[in-house]
């Protein structure tokens, strides 16, 4: 299900420019890795969820690009870069 309706409304206030590619990818084969479970709790946008098969999924729309999941889970399980130029969240207040 990923972001709750409350969170979706919150993220909806942000200016967000969608891109063609996902800038954070759960590395194939690591969907059930215990290190990935941290993402369920640390993401301030609540973009990670666990499906019925026990796999962690990421819904990248709304990503704040904060880097918390990269630090919590590590780069062995997440292929993590910033979005390409001019894509992703554009903070107006910051």
Partner 1 sequence: MVEKFEVIVVGAGLAGLSAAYALAREGFEVVVIERGDYPGAKNVTGGRLYTRPLQNYLPELWKEAPFERAVTNEIVTLISSGKSLTLRFRSDEFVRPPAHSYTVLRGTLDRWLSKKAEEKGAMLVTKNRVDDLLKKDGKVVGVLAGGEELGADVVIACDGALSLVAEKAGLKSPGTSHDYAVGFKEVIELSSQTIEDRFGLKGQEGAAQLFLGDLTKGRFGGGFLYTNRSSLSLGLVIRIKDLTEGNPLKEAPQFLDEFKERPEIAPLIAGGEMVEYSGHVISEAGFTGLIRPFADGLLVAGDAAGFSLNVGLTVRGMEFAIASGVLAAQAVKQAREKKDFSATSLSIYQTLLENSFVLKDLKTFQHAPVFLDNPRLFQHYPRMAGDLFQSLFTVGPEPKQKFSTTIREKVSWSEAWEILKDLRKGLKI
> To the nearest whole angstrom, how small is the minimum distance from the Cβ of residue 64 to partner 1?
4
User: How many other C-beta atoms lie within 10 A of the C-beta of residue 23?
Assistant: 16
Find the angle CA(6)-CA(37)-CA(35) to the nearest 5 degrees. 145
CB 39, CB 58: distance < 8 Å: yes
Identify which of residues 51 and 90 has a Cβ nearer to partner 1 in the complex: 90
> To the nearest whole angstrom, how small is the minimum distance from the Cβ of residue 39 to partner 1?
9
Bridge partner residues of 48 (DSSP): 58
Identify which of residues 29 and 94 has a Cβ nearer to partner 1 in the complex: 94
| Binding site residues, partner 1, CB under 8 A | 4, 6-7, 10-11, 13-14, 17, 37-38, 40-46, 64-68, 70-72, 74-75, 81-86, 88-94
């Amino acid at each position: 299900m990923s972001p709750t309706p409350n969170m979706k409304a919150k993220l909806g206030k942000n200016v967000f420019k969608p891109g063609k590619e996902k800038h954070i990818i759960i590395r194939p084969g690591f969907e059930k890795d215990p290190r990935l479970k941290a993402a369920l709790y640390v993401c301030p946008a609540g973009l990670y969820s666990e499906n019925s098969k026990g796999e962690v999924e990421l819904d990248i729309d709304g990503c704040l690009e904060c880097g918390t999941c990269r630090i919590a889970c590590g780069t062995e399980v997440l292929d993590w870069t910033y979005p390409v130029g001019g894509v992703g969240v554009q903070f107006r207040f910051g």
